[in-house]
Homo-oligomer: A and B are copies of this chain.
Amino acid sequence: MLTNPRADRVRSVAALSRRSARDRAGLFLAEGPQAVREAVRWRPESIRDLYVTRHTEIVTEAGAAGVHVHECSPEVLAAMSGTDAPQGLLTVCRLLTASWPAVLAARPRLLLVLAHIRDPGNAGTVIRGADAAGADAVIVSEASVDVFGPKVVRSTAGSLFHLPVVTGLPMSQILADLRAAGLATLAADGAGARLLPEVDLSGPHAWIMGNEAWGLSEEVRSACDEVVRVPIFGHAESLNLAMAATVCLYASALSPR
């Protein structure tokens, strides 16, 4: 039973709220019942430690999956947590970095590429939406938010453990590799020439979404096969990133293959 919130181990776990510490240690935090449950069920091998304030069903499941479970006081859990309310459960996981060549080799039919996205809540929500729409993987370009930050992890609602997330590649390489793998590249952009309902979504393709404030660069847009616009029927200027991504991904998921 860990009871000292100032212990070295507690400090080193708490440090994982910072990107530099995550990168150095190759570890991240996932907190709360939903994230912990999905981690235990889908990627138990990624869990280095599970800290709990009391025994619950998921703790039994974790033990059965070979996870190291540590009991600790609520003060210790709060000191470790990157959020205000870890709700009694916190895991330290190894970074879930998916292999880009492996993602491509699995003959994906639907991918989501996030180019230079910065807002943690958006990134997490969009990864959750990609999971719901059955995307085969999410690719987050270099110079984007760290998908293993506490706020992204929380916003994914467990989806981070469900599908491969590839990080750190430059957009030029992502687009070139997608083309070589035979996937159509569809840039989603409010200034696109083609309207979403006009686009053929029957073949393997990747949606490319830009930064929440400035969208996609001209360079990325011109390197894509199509620049596609979600139609706006009312008077809104645009949809936000998460809504636009979800509409595009569901258009793909619901279209006949």
Contact = CB atoms under 8 A, between A and B. Distances in A.
A51 B125 CA distance: 35
A243 B162 contact: no
Contact of A134 (B130, B197, B233, B237): B233
A231 interface: yes
Interface residues of A, number: 37
A159 interface: yes
Contacts of A233: 132-134, 253
Interface string A229-257: 01111111111101100110011011000
A129 B232 CA distance: 9
Contacts of A162: 234-236
Contacts of A129: 236, 239, 243
Contacts of A58: none
A121 to B, nearest CB: 9
Copy number in the complex reads 2
Nearest to A235: B162
B236 A253 contact: no
Contacts of A158: 236-237
Interface in A101-140: 125, 128-135
Interface of A: 34, 42, 125, 128-135, 157-159, 162-163, 196-197, 230-240, 242-243, 246-247, 250-251, 253-254
13 contacts: A34-B237, A125-B240, A125-B243, A132-B236, A132-B243, A133-B233, A158-B236, A162-B234, A231-B253, A243-B246, A246-B247, A250-B250, A250-B251
